[in-house]
Amino acid sequence: MLWNQFIGITILLYALTNPVGAIPIFLTITRQAGSASIHRIIVLACTAVAIFFVGAAVLGKQILNFFNVGLDDFRIAGGLLALVIALEMFQAQYGKFMQPPSGVDRSEVDIHGWAITPFAFPLLVGPAEVSIIITLSNDNLGWSSTALLGAASIIATFLIGSTL
């Protein structure tokens, strides 16, 4: 993997997660939380995103072999999934998000629940991002390429955290 590919993959992962688009949802989720809780949610969400990315990069080929799925089949399914998600983004639908009750005290905010389940997965890292990581890990064979893909994932995660 060349350095221009490394930078391109880092920017691709950052753009796919779309942290700028997730900011309004993040603010809605954390409106009852205090400043320290918000920072903990960001750290936990970014840690979960990094684990998803690096796990898919390292174990991508083994996951496909376990389910007996070919890479070309997976590329088609991942592309169709990314297309469906992109088409759903064009439809602005209000009210599909489950909002927390307004009477929740700041000390009762579920940091782990909000950071991982609705925010890190599936909002930032969904099936389309995981399928693209698995495809990239299968395109770049060798441990050095996998390590650079993991490093690009971690740098993209830091960029996501700094954006949030």
* Tokens at 115, concatenated: 């950071």
User: Of the segments 19-23, 30-34, 47-51, 92-96, which one has the largest average pLDDT value?
Assistant: 47-51
Single-letter residue type at 32: Q
- Please report, for the chain, the start and end positions of each structural domain, with discontinuous segments joined by +: 22-92+109-163
User: Of the segments 63-67, 90-94, 117-121, 138-142, which one has the largest average pLDDT value?
Assistant: 63-67
CA pair distance 129, 56, nearest whole angstrom: 9
Measure CA of the first residue to CA of the last residue in the chain; give whole Å: 29
CA pair distance 21, 69, nearest whole angstrom: 32
- Nearest Cα to 50, choosing from 157, 152, 130, 164? 157
pTM of the model: 0.78
pLDDT tens digits, one per residue of 30-47: 887 788 888 888 999 999
